RNA sequence: GGGGGCGUAGCUCAGCCGGUAGAGCAGCGGCCUUUUAAGCCGUAGGUCGCAGGUUCGAUCCCUGCCGCCCUCACCA
């Protein structure tokens, strides 16, 4: 890991040490934010200031050198003059671009009016043993950007901005639910039985308890236990883990918002989602709901369009009845979809996805999903074939999923039993009886919501790939021997000592 | 997993029809007190992703592997 060190930088480090200087001091004179200085620059000219940050490229004029200094708030030019820095001058070359420094000096301008800190005191805060990427292009190699995000972040300001925006999005999502009296809670990530979604889980093991565990695929079942407990409005923003493929819109670990509100139904939840977007448009996008995503314009200001699932299906597949297996199969073959061994409802939904979903530019609420593909949602009283459920689509991407929650313990247990009987690797190996027990104590009618925070951030920042809003996306190991030792089929966990 | 693309200096990239590799920036040495992609002169820097094969000769052609990107599948 040390073979990327630049020899010349190591030499400078050793020269500094030989001269009795600490290249990694515990503390240096602390400065103020660069942005604060720039904000009141006119009023502070001629006054002293201290700034800390990373040095950019040095522009050397012999007895004068310029460089920019960058901190989290911005960057400003620093001027080093021989006549102001007699003691520092002989060692000036030991401090170079990419080093972290504390600079004290006098604020002024250059002949061209550039705000400049004319240094009178330069303290090395941390020596950089590796050079920064090229100044003009920055770091562009995608793989390097993900593997060395720390470099990506300091070399590419727009990357910092994107993650600052993500932070803002999460903060404002919290603010919205907090303002409605929801309690933010944290539920188990390590779960003995996984549930709340259909996905393959990651497995792990607790040594002391000698117990196999799963990383959660959804917090859903624990949050609904809280409704039974009387916490009528709860939400959680947390990581969930799904042992599936990686793509521009899937990372194996991602951040999910789930909220549950007692005494509400899916119509109420729809209003909450619109309220959330109104809030985010105001706070994150500055009131302008227009975003560009994957080359298209979207307006995220509510209200959003609404369309019935079956209406969309009928419009895209004239003459095909969603509930008519034979007709659906015919249509699926026509579309070139695989049909063998696929359950009727699943196939019908495949046809929906193939003919409707990609075209859902939205934002649009697709609602009233067939019960066969909605195992956790309540049936619509007026039409028991469909459920009180909606999904929010933008740019053909599923952003959210919500429904009136099933709270009938007998029905729930029956559905769990059927699920377990399917014995797929996406279904739990046993019924979550404790959850059923919770429902038996009585869960108020409730509306629940799940929103993928990563995808929401993609949309709000125009990021085409989920990896552009995940700081450290999952990548393969580079070390081939380590990679070969890994087994995709999860090696047996180490026994307890 | 299928298909397509990519991998060359620390970074960004050239490299023709096969003849053992080049630029800019960064580095190093010099000149320069107002630059801001500073400039000028000089200099150093390479396991051409890895391993085989074809060939007198491979960065280039072939095969396998590794990694990344796109896409399809998977993933409500």
Could you identify the residue whose CA is nearest to the C1' atom of nucleotide B31? Answer: A62
Give the tens place of pLDDT for each residue, A288-309: 888 888 888 899 999 999 999 9
pLDDT score at A496: 33
CB proximity A476–strand B (7 Å threshold): yes
- Determine the nucleotide nearest to A242 by Cα–C1' distance: B75
Query: In this predicted model, what pLDDT tens digit does every residue of A62-120 receive, in sequence order?
Result: 999 999 999 999 999 999 999 999 999 998 999 999 999 999 999 999 999 999 999 99
Chain A residues 144-183 with Cβ under 7 Å of strand B are: 144, 146
**Is pLDDT above 50 for A174?**
yes
Residues 312-371 of A, Cβ under 7 A from nucleic strand B: 338, 350, 353-354
Per the DSSP assignment, residues forming a β-bridge with A298 are A291
Nucleotides of B under 7 A from a protein CB: 1, 10-13, 24-29, 31-39, 65-76
The distance (Å) linking the CA of A480 with the C1' of B20 is 28
Mean pLDDT of A462-490: 69
- Band the pLDDT of A479: cuts 50, 70, 90: low
Tokens of A153: 């972040």
Dihedral sign from CA coordinates of A343, A346, A349, A353: negative
Q: In the predicted model, what is the mean pLDDT of residues A399-405?
A: 92
Beta carbons of A277 and A363 less than 8 angstroms apart: yes
Predicted confidence (pLDDT) at residue A214 exceeds the cutoff of 80: yes
Supply the ipTM of this predicted assembly.
0.89
H or E stretch including A153?
helix A149-155
Would the Cβ of A65 be found within 7 angstroms of any atom in strand B?
no
Three-class SS of residue A331?
A: helix
Say yes or no to pLDDT of A4 above 70. no
Q: Region A397-415: what's the mean pLDDT?
A: 90
Q: Is the CB of A50 under 7 A from strand B?
A: no
What pLDDT score does A35 carry? 96
Is A126 in contact with A73 (CB distance < 8 Å)? no
Average pLDDT, chain A: 88
A443, A429, A461: which is closest to A294 by C-alpha?
A461
* 394-413 of chain A touching strand B, CB 7 A cut-off: 398, 401
- Distance in angstroms: CA A5, C1' B45: 14
The predicted pLDDT at position A293 comes to: 86
- Report which of A163, A176, A389 is spatially closest to residue A302, judged by C-alpha positions: A176
Per-residue pLDDT at A488 exceeds 50: no
Please report the domains of chain A, with CATH numbers, ordered by start residue. Answer: 7-132 (2.40.50.140), 153-304+362-476 (3.30.930.10)
């Amino acid at each position: 890991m040390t073979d990327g060190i630049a020899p010349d930088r190591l030499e400078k480090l050793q020269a500094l040490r030989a001269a009795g200087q600490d290249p990694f001091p515990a503390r240096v004179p602390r400065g103020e934010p660069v942005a604060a200085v720039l904000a009141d620059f006119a009023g502070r000219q001629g006054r002293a200031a201290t700034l800390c940050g990373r040095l950019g490229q040095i522009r050397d004029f012999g007895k004068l050198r310029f460089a920019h200094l960058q901190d989290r708030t911005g960057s400003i030019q620093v001027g080093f003059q021989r006549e102001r820095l007699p003691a520092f001058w002989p060692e000036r070359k030991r401090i170079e671009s990419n080093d972290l420094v504390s600079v004290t000096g006098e604020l002024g301008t250059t002949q061209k009016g550039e705000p400049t800190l004319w240094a009178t005191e330069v303290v090395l805060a941390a020596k950089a043993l590796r050079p920064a990427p090229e100044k003009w292009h920055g770091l562009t190699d995608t793989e390097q950007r993900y593997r060395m995000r720390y470099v990506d972040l300091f070399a590419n300001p727009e990357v910092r901005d994107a993650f600052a925006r993500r932070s803002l999005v999460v903060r404002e999502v919290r603010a919205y639910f907090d303002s409605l009296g929801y309690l933010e809670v944290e539920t188990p990530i390590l779960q003995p039985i996984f549930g709340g979604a259909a996905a393959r889980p990651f497995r792990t093991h607790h040594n002391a308890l000698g117990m196999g565990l799963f990383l959660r695929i959804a917090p859903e079942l624990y949050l609904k236990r809280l409704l039974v407990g009387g916490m009528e409005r709860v939400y959680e923003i947390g990581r969930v883990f799904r042992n599936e493929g990686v793509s521009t819109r899937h990372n194996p670990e991602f951040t999910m918002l789930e909220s549950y509100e007692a005494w509400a139904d899916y119509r109420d939840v729809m209003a909450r989602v619109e309220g959330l977007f109104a809030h985010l448009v105001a706070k994150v996008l500055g009131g302008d709901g227009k975003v560009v995503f994957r080359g298209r314009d979207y307006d995220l200001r509510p209200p959003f369009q609404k369309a019935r699932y079956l209406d969309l299906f009928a419009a895209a597949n004239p003459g095909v009845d969603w509930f008519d297996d034979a007709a659906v199969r015919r249509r699926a073959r026509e579309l070139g979809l695989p049909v063998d061994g696929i359950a009727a409802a699943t196939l019908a939904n495949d046809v929906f996805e193939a003919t409707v979903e990609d075209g859902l530019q939205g934002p649009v609420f697709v609602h009233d999903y067939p019960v066969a593909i909605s195992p956790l949602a309540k049936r619509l009283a007026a039409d028991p074939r469909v459920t009180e459920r909606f999904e929010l689509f933008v740019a053909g991407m599923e952003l959210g999923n919500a429904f009136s929650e099933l709270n009938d313990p007998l029905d729930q247990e029956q559905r769990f039993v059927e699920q377990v009987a399917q014995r797929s690797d996406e279904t739990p190996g046993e019924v979550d009886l404790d959850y059923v027990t919770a429902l038996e104590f009585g869960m108020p009618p409730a509306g629940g919501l799940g929103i993928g925070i990563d995808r929401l951030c993609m949309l709000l920042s125009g990021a085409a790939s989920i990896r552009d809003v995940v700081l450290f996306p999952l990548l393969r190991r580079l070390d081939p021997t380590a990679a070969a030792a890994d087994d995709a089929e999860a090696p047996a966990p180490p026994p307890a000592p």
